[in-house]
Structure 1
Amino acid sequence: MTESNIDDGSVIGNRDNGGDDVTAAGNDLNNQSSGLSENRKEDELLASSIRKKLPQQSSSLTRNCIFRIPHIFRRGNENVFVPNLVSIGPYHHGHEDLKAMEEIKQWYLHCLLERRGNQEASLKSFVKGIRSMEKYCRDCYGEKVNLSSDDFVEIMVVDGCFIIELFRKYITDDTPGKGFRERDDPVFNMSWMITALLYDLLLLENQIPWRVLDCLFKLTRENDETDEPSLSDLTLNYFEYYTLLGRYPKKIEETGSKHLLDFIRKCLLGGTKQDSTNIHPNSDWAPIPCVTELLQAGVKFRRTEDSMLNITFEYGVMKIPPIVVNENGESLFRNLIVYEQCEASVYECKITSYAVVLDNLINTSSDVDILMQKGILLTHLSKEDIASFFNKLYNNTIPGQFSYKELTDKVNEHYHRRFNRWKTILARDYFNNPWSTLAFAGALLGLGLTFIQTLYAILAYKAPKSDEGYHYP
């Protein structure tokens, strides 16, 4: 009986404990459910926050054409990407070391307005024209421009008018006081400023949209100047001496240009012989030997008066247009290359491909010396500096589409033929002057006579002996 009571008590006690456990479990489930509910609310809030940050319209990334230089391209080359004298556009606006040119920009705008007469009305039309395209202009920049509408439009107007006025002054009479130039114009009184400005205007970070220039050019055009050069003519005239643009077609489609650097690139491409079948993936080509090695394989190098990018190879002759390299040449090349790497609409990386070919051809100062002797490479820099320049020209860049596969295939095919090397060795070692040629001919004749004499001796030895006239003892 006692045992039974104990057992019953134990059972009852266990049931009571079981009830507590069930209650605790229920509380845990409620707590978990409450926690899940709170997590869901937090997730919804976070998702809503992310959604608000997303663009409401189609992305403007495809319209970006003026970029900040990515860090990977900037390393060790900072000086070729930043302006030394003048800021154009918002990226470098207000930098302390560029403020001196702000006064000159303001003075150029004043000169332009003074020629037009009604300054207030003219300036108002400039602002109105640029304000109407403000969104388009902002979308051109790869980095968000944190400026008020007034500040942004002011930069576009002042910088755009400065560029147009500079181009017009440059193309007019060189005599101070005539045309658009003033006697005390510091830009034209100090010749170094023209060159410095030229390369600053071709920096990728130092651009304003071409549409801004076109708008201001039309608004500032004199009504009676029907024969005034077009905007593209003014641009070509300013840049052609320093970039060999005089070799390229004068008629460039302005409407397709995005900014000055893009316009110059189109000029360079405009003189090339375009062949879509010659564009290949970066992995679908092989590097070519350097100039010295090709020379040893019998390749001849000739200068041709053609578009800079038109390097050709036919029948063992490589034709290369003149290559001008100066202290500022690296700046133009690198900015064009980085622009091709950043611009989504650029399908054919022609400038980058050109840099790759030059890097293949030029390894040492010996290669530079050969090209200078042929009149292909024009420079006053040292041969070592030039070789180093081309070896580092396209660091960290990859031509997504290589444009010289046909050229590299022909060169490699010629180079790997042994006959071409032997022929070159003979010409170099035995036919480099008349006496060597005569000596080689004499040696060849002597070798031939010796061979004939030896052949007759062997034949005479092996010929059967006649028994006629022979008597046994």
Structure 2
Amino acid sequence: MTETHLSQKFTQLQKAKETPKNTFPKIQRVAHYLRGRKHFAHHYSPRLVSIGPIHHGKPNLELGEKYKLMWAAKYLERTKQDAQTLYQKIASNIEQLKQRFAEDVIRDFPDDEKLSWMLFVDGCSLLQILDKGNLNDPHEMNVKVDQLVLVWQDVLLLENQLPYKVLKDLSGHQNDATLVNSMNNFLNYHHLSPVRPEQRQENHDDKDEERALDEDGYTSVVVDNEDTQQHEEHRIEIRKELPFHLLDQLRRYVLDDPLEEPRHQKGDKENSERDENTNDDMTTYRNIGELRTAGIKLKVEKSRRLRDISFSYRWMCLCAELTLPEITVDDTTAPTFHNLIAYEMCPDFENSFDICSFVAFMDSLIDHPEDVKELRSAKVLQNALGSDEEVAKLFNTISTDLVPNTESYSKVRWKIEKHYRKKYRAWIAQGYHTYFSNPWAIIAFLAALFAIVLTFIQTWFAINPRDPC
């Protein structure tokens, strides 16, 4: 190695520490160590439409290219916007937009005009999908429902994302709130949505309007006052960072409701107390079967937010409950979780690994099909995938190679462990579950107790007969 070449190497080494850190996660490919896992790669690739540059031009997506042109034309007609004006918005900002992509992603687009046109068409078509991609009415998109289902899955892939700024420039909205609400309305129908199925149409018609942010970043909500039985309108400031793309908004949406603090983060005294004698290193992961054996009952959390997992006692510590959010498992569950996990594992995305932690926690509860059956019986899990064995295998597979945040659900794990270590609590909880979990069990217990009392009285009088007067 020559002295000049060696000098260049040392200069390169010196500059390496000065490399600026990204202020936002760039749209990039799924990490090779995730995509390279056996049977996992197909979860990251689109099947009908490509959005953005990564899968653009692939032969198997030619039909999707025709659909995107149609949807873009429909979008322009519906919103009464001029195509050339919108295209110029993208073209004039192309240098700034290129910074939203990883270098290897736009390497195949040296021509800015080609890249600008692709972003323009894909952006308009995605906005049409967000507004009109209703699975209950696929005719709005001029496709069959089976194709629209594929579109739904494709637009939520990590490698199929567009920068939020592209959508904002093409949306024609003066404020960001309208576009974010459009994203949320679309995501309402996702199986991970915190909105319950029976509330979706109602929310679409009324509640989304009530909770829409105005230009100042506030939202007005109607709150029932239980004491006065009156409706009060509160204007709540919920200024939040704008999403980086649609997948990022899905992650935010399923994890957090800006109007309410997550349950596991609430500062109640019981959740904040720690037993100094408890060694956190000894915390173990127990499946549903073991929890039931210890007298821990499952309860469904109606909020449907993935963060809302808690452990508590009722009836003077007679009943132990593990509360879990309701979740639907279907054909879209695996690709959705795989892509959300891949997004959290992007090297430039600073986050607390909430999705990874939730999947790891569920995997710790599910070892066997019987565990899935218990979750179904408690109405925590809705199985639209197939057999319970398939669901168990799905969670065991998704959790492969995950590195969750050790702080996530640590209080829940600690409480479960504390319950295990105090055996009398487990016995009490088991007794409550056995004899007082339903009216028939209570009646049977009381009948048995009454029979024992009668037997005791009969025996007493047999041993101690009363003298006749």
Structure with bigger strand share is 2
2:97–2:163 CA contact under 8 A, matched in 1:
no
Aligned to 1:237: 185
Structure 1's 94 and 407: CA in aligned 2 closer, same or farther, altered over 3 A? same
Q: Quote how far apart the aligned CAs of 1:344 are.
A: 3.6
Structure 1's 274 and 59: CA in aligned 2 closer, same or farther, altered over 3 A? farther
Which residue type is aligned with residue 409 of structure 2? Y
Of the candidates 239, 249, 252, which is equivalent to residue 263 of structure 1? 249
Deviations 1:142-171 (A, max 9, x none): 756331122222222111111012222247
* Pairing 1:341–2:345 present: yes
Deviations 1:332-359 (A, max 9, x none): 1121122112254433111111111111
Give secondary structure in 2 for the equivalent of 1:351.
helix
Of stretches 345-354 and 106-115 in structure 1, the one that deviates more from structure 2 is: 106-115
CA distance in 2, matches of 1:448, 1:202: 71
Structure 1's 154 and 442: CA in aligned 2 closer, same or farther, altered over 3 A? same
CA distance in 2, matches of 1:45, 1:250: 60
CA distance in 1, matches of 2:302, 2:417: 25
Aligned to 1:43: 3
* Pairing 1:358–2:320 present: no
Q: Quote how far apart the aligned CAs of 1:273 are.
A: 4.0
Q: Quote how far apart the aligned CAs of 1:72 are.
A: 2.5
Aligned to 2:467: none
Which residue type is aligned with residue 164 of structure 2? W
Q: Quote how far apart the aligned CAs of 1:444 are.
A: 7.9
Give secondary structure in 2 for the equivalent of 1:230.
helix
Of the candidates 143, 167, 176, which is equivalent to residue 130 of structure 2? 167
Q: TM-score, normalised by structure 2?
A: 0.73
Deviations 1:165-201 (A, max 9, x none): 222224799596xxxx4xxx433xx112222111211
1:290–1:367 CA contact under 8 A, matched in 2:
yes
2:288–2:365 CA contact under 8 A, matched in 1:
yes
CA distance in 2, matches of 1:446, 1:435: 16
* Pairing 1:82–2:35 present: no
Structure with bigger helix share is 1
CA distance in 2, matches of 1:85, 1:394: 27
Of stretches 251-260 and 229-238 in structure 1, the one that deviates more from structure 2 is: 251-260
Aligned to 1:403: 408
Of stretches 421-430 and 348-357 in structure 1, the one that deviates more from structure 2 is: 421-430
* Pairing 1:72–2:33 present: yes
User: How do 1:288-437 and structure 2 match up within 5 A?
Assistant: 288-306=285-303, 307-315=305-313, 316-380=320-384, 381-423=386-428, 426=431, 432=441, 434-435=443-444
Consecutive unaligned residues in structure 2, runs of 5 or more? 197-207, 214-237, 273-279, 314-319, 465-469
Consecutive unaligned residues in structure 1, runs of 5 or more? 1-38, 457-473
Structure 1's 57 and 416: CA in aligned 2 closer, same or farther, altered over 3 A? closer
Of stretches 392-401 and 257-266 in structure 1, the one that deviates more from structure 2 is: 392-401
Which residue type is aligned with residue 308 of structure 1? L
2:97–2:166 CA contact under 8 A, matched in 1:
no
Of stretches 334-343 and 437-446 in structure 1, the one that deviates more from structure 2 is: 437-446
Of the candidates 125, 142, 160, which is equivalent to residue 206 of structure 1? 160
Which residue type is aligned with residue 256 of structure 1? L
Q: Quote how far apart the aligned CAs of 1:81 are.
A: 1.2
Give secondary structure in 2 for the equivalent of 1:363.
coil
Of the candidates 265, 268, 276, which is equivalent to residue 275 of structure 1? 265
For the aligned residue pairs, the C-alpha RMSD in angstroms reads 3.8
Q: Quote how far apart the aligned CAs of 1:441 are.
A: 6.0
CA distance in 1, matches of 2:415, 2:351: 24
CA distance in 2, matches of 1:195, 1:337: 21
2:171–2:179 CA contact under 8 A, matched in 1:
yes
1:355–1:390 CA contact under 8 A, matched in 2:
yes
1:65–1:343 CA contact under 8 A, matched in 2:
no
CA distance in 2, matches of 1:291, 1:209: 41
1:210–1:259 CA contact under 8 A, matched in 2:
yes
Aligned to 1:186: 142
Aligned to 1:15: none
CA distance in 2, matches of 1:367, 1:118: 54
Structure 1's 142 and 308: CA in aligned 2 closer, same or farther, altered over 3 A? farther
Aligned to 1:468: none
Q: Quote how far apart the aligned CAs of 1:261 are.
A: 0.8
1:61–1:142 CA contact under 8 A, matched in 2:
no
Structure 1's 99 and 55: CA in aligned 2 closer, same or farther, altered over 3 A? farther
CA distance in 2, matches of 1:51, 1:106: 49
Give secondary structure in 2 for the equivalent of 1:214.
helix
Which residue type is aligned with residue 307 of structure 2? L
CA distance in 1, matches of 2:300, 2:86: 50
Q: Quote how far apart the aligned CAs of 1:452 are.
A: 13
Identity %: 25
1:304–1:319 CA contact under 8 A, matched in 2:
yes
1:202–1:261 CA contact under 8 A, matched in 2:
yes
Structure 1's 250 and 288: CA in aligned 2 closer, same or farther, altered over 3 A? farther
Of the candidates 109, 119, 122, which is equivalent to residue 156 of structure 1? 119
Give secondary structure in 2 for the equivalent of 1:133.
helix
Structure 1's 173 and 392: CA in aligned 2 closer, same or farther, altered over 3 A? closer
Q: Quote how far apart the aligned CAs of 1:266 are.
A: 1.1
CA distance in 1, matches of 2:356, 2:298: 22
Q: Quote how far apart the aligned CAs of 1:373 are.
A: 1.1
Structure 1's 212 and 253: CA in aligned 2 closer, same or farther, altered over 3 A? farther
CA distance in 2, matches of 1:418, 1:453: 39
Structure 1's 47 and 451: CA in aligned 2 closer, same or farther, altered over 3 A? farther
Q: Quote how far apart the aligned CAs of 1:204 are.
A: 1.0
Give secondary structure in 2 for the equivalent of 1:407.
helix
Q: Quote how far apart the aligned CAs of 1:240 are.
A: 1.0
User: How do 1:105-144 and structure 2 match up within 5 A?
Assistant: 105-114=68-77, 119=82, 121-131=84-94, 133-139=96-102, 143=105
Structure 1's 201 and 250: CA in aligned 2 closer, same or farther, altered over 3 A? farther
Deviations 1:291-349 (A, max 9, x none): 12111211121112112320111111122221111011111112112211225443311
Structure 1's 434 and 255: CA in aligned 2 closer, same or farther, altered over 3 A? closer
Structure 1's 448 and 397: CA in aligned 2 closer, same or farther, altered over 3 A? farther
Paired residues in the alignment total: 396
